[in-house]
Amino acid sequence: MNVPVAWYLVVAALLFGIGAYGLLTRRSALVMFMCIELMLNAVNLTFVSFSRTLGDVAGQASVFFVMVVAAAEVTVGLGIVVAVFRRRSSTSVDELSELHG
Distant-in-sequence, close-in-space partners of 67: CB < 8 Å, separation ≥ 6: 44
CA–CA distance, 33 with 43 (Å, rounded to integer) = 15
The CATH architecture of the domain made up of 5-99 is: Orthogonal Bundle (1.10)
Please state the φ and ψ torsions of residue 66, each to the nearest 5 degrees.
-65, -40
Q: Give residue 92's pLDDT.
A: 75
Q: How many CB atoms lie within 10 A of CB 39?
A: 20
- For residue 12, give the nearest of 60, 47, 36 by alpha carbon: 47
pLDDT tens per residue, range 64-89 = 999 999 899 889 988 888 888 888 77
pLDDT tens per residue, range 1-33 = 788 999 999 999 999 999 999 999 988 888 888
Domain boundaries, given as residue ranges, for the chain: 5-99
Q: Give residue 101's pLDDT.
A: 58
Please state the φ and ψ torsions of residue 92, each to the nearest 5 degrees.
-70, 135
The pTM of the full predicted model, rounded to 2 decimals, is 0.82
Which DSSP state fits 55? T
pLDDT tens per residue, range 35-52 = 999 999 999 999 999 999
